[in-house]
């Protein structure tokens, strides 16, 4: 093929541009042949809050890297060791790159694949985690395709529901993972920190899981409105009232069964501290509101952050109220979600219409590749939209 590949490319903090690159090859980042790989024509590729970490400089990546890790695509080329996919299949790409052959992948822990990025045991497209190029582009190389890709059973049905299915590559399973690790099930009472796209997927997933009282906290009232309309409770974190008091007003008890942080280290404080960034604020919030015997998920992204204010935060050390929480027997899980553990089941729930509220909560908007740089700027300012890039104009308006 002689086709070129237009893509959203990182050019230093605060700058992304659409560049024209070579068409991808069935090759690993280090140049090895990848007979297990495929080339996808991208159908939908979303902008994620994690992309903003790169955009803002919190997560350093090399200039010239293609952005994006949330991809849905159509198979256009298959390697010689691809047995179960064929050209034309519409597939969802889990954002974690995983070999399916190492100890962790064998155990279903694809978020910590030992071989795709041996340096850190964690690989992803469009990050500085294994040198895999991102998917905000016309075309994408995906290795270990038989293992990794989720094929949609029917092409037409998939294109009909593409705006919901598009979030299977990351934020819906990611949000779901946080709930599962926090023990959410039928009847659970839940507090979710953050009403960005992941937090909103968390609220939708909590409904799917049968949670009873679902409370979402954020500083942005437009975002909160999206979850309130879908039957959840909300807390405006600008109010200068202890969070447990606000929960008690809603629930009759000051703490919940399960709490999940969907914010990460860019968190702000409560009430009078709402303007102040505090990288530990969201973790301490969710530890604070989880009842004794409950559980907590830390799905927001943490790590050494070179642009953090304090030297400690730059090194990935945070002031955590763990001593206050210890008496409650905290059960805390952090890290990226193993997307493959959940994406098939969530696809089934979407295809059988079990999440009728998802689309409204998500608030998706479809844009072209050329509109992506502006979308980054808007999303950086706190837009309540979920941006879905449609490079080839395949999504019906």
Q: Which one of residues 306, 316, 382, 393 is an interface residue with its own copies (CB under 8 A)?
A: 316
Buried b (16+ CB within 10 A) or exposed e, 198-232: bbbbbbbbbbbbebebbbbbbbbeebbebbbebeb
Residues 227-246 that bind its own copies (CB under 8 A): none
Tell me: does residue 109 bind its own copies (CB under 8 A). yes
- Closest approach of its own copies to the CB of residue 118, in Å: 11
Residues 159-188 as x/- pattern, contact with its own copies by CB under 8 A = -----------------x----x---xxxx
Q: Which one of residues 292, 306, 382, 393 is an interface residue with its own copies (CB under 8 A)?
A: 292
Tell me: does residue 80 bind its own copies (CB under 8 A). yes
Residue 178 CA to residue 299 CA, distance in Å, equals: 6
Residues 126-145 as x/- pattern, contact with its own copies by CB under 8 A = --------------------
Tell me: does residue 306 bind its own copies (CB under 8 A). no
Beta-carbon contacts of 296 under 8 Å, excluding residues fewer than 6 positions away, are 182, 258, 259, 260, 261, 286, 287, 290, 330, 331, 332, 333
Residue 246 CA to residue 253 CA, distance in Å, equals: 10
Length of the chain as a residue count: 397
- 91, containing H or E segment: strand 90-93
Instruction: Output DSSP code: residue 292.
Output: E
- Closest approach of its own copies to the CB of residue 164, in Å: 13
Residue 68 CA to residue 356 CA, distance in Å, equals: 27
- Closest approach of its own copies to the CB of residue 77, in Å: 16
Do residues 156 and 165 lie in contact, with contact meaning Cβ atoms separated by under 8 Å?
no
Residue 84 CA to residue 69 CA, distance in Å, equals: 23
Q: Which one of residues 38, 99, 224, 230 is an interface residue with its own copies (CB under 8 A)?
A: 99
Q: Token pair of 242, please? A: 């202890």
Stretch that binds its own copies, among 29-37, 43-51, 369-377, 381-389 (CB under 8 A): 29-37
- Closest approach of its own copies to the CB of residue 354, in Å: 6
Tell me: does residue 111 bind its own copies (CB under 8 A). yes
First to last CA, the chain: 29
Tell me: does residue 56 bind its own copies (CB under 8 A). no
Tell me: does residue 146 bind its own copies (CB under 8 A). yes
| Nearest residue (CB) to its own copies, 34 versus 44 | 34
- Closest approach of its own copies to the CB of residue 291, in Å: 8
Stretch that binds its own copies, among 193-201, 292-300, 367-375, 380-388 (CB under 8 A): 292-300
Residues 335-394 that bind its own copies (CB under 8 A): 335-336, 340, 342, 344-349, 351-352, 354
Instruction: Output DSSP code: residue 373.
Output: H
∠ CA(23), CA(26), CA(31), 5° rounding?
100
- Closest approach of its own copies to the CB of residue 55, in Å: 19
């Amino acid at each position: 093929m002689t086709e070129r590949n237009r893509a959203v490319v990182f050019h230093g903090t605060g700058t992304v541009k659409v560049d024209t690159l070579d068409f991808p090859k069935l090759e690993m980042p280090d140049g090895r042949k990848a007979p297990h790989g495929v080339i996808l024509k991208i159908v939908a590729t979303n902008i994620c809050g994690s992309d903003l970490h790169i955009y803002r400089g919190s997560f350093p990546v090399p200039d010239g890297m293609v952005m994006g890790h949330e991809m849905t695509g159509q198979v256009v080329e298959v390697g010689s060791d691809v047995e179960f996919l064929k050209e034309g299949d519409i597939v969802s790409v889990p954002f974690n790159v995983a070999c399916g052959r190492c100890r962790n992948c064998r155990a279903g822990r694809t978020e910590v694949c030992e071989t795709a990025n041996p340096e850190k045991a964690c690989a992803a497209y469009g990050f500085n985690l294994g040198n895999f190029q991102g998917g905000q582009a016309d075309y994408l190389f995906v290795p270990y395709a038989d293992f990794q890709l989720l094929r949609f059973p029917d092409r037409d049905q998939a294109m009909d529901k593409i705006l919901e299915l598009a979030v299977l590559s990351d934020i819906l399973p990611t949000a779901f993972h946080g709930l599962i690790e926090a023990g959410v099930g039928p009847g659970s009472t839940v507090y979710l920190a953050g009403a960005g796209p992941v937090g909103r997927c968390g609220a939708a997933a909590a409904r799917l899981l049968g949670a009873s009282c679902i409370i979402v906290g954020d500083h942005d009232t437009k975002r909160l409105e999206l979850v309130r309309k879908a039957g959840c409770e909300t807390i405006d974190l600008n109010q200068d009232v202890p969070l447990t008091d606000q929960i008690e007003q809603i629930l009759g008890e000051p703490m919940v069964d399960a709490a999940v942080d969907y914010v990460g280290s860019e968190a702000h404080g409560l009430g009078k501290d709402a303007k102040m960034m505090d990288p530990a604020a969201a973790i301490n919030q969710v530890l604070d509101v989880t009842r004794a015997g409950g559980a907590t998920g830390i799905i927001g992204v943490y790590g050494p952050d070179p642009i953090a204010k304090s030297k400690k935060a730059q090194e990935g050390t945070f002031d955590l109220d763990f001593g206050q929480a210890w008496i409650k027997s905290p059960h805390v899980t952090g890290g990226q979600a193993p997307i493959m553990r959940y994406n098939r089941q969530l696809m089934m729930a979407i295809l059988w219409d079990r999440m009728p509220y998802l689309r409204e909560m998500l608030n998706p908007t479809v844009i072209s590749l050329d509109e992506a740089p502006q979308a980054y700027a808007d999303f950086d300012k706190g837009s309540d939209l979920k941006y879905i890039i449609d490079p080839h104009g395949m999504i019906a308006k």
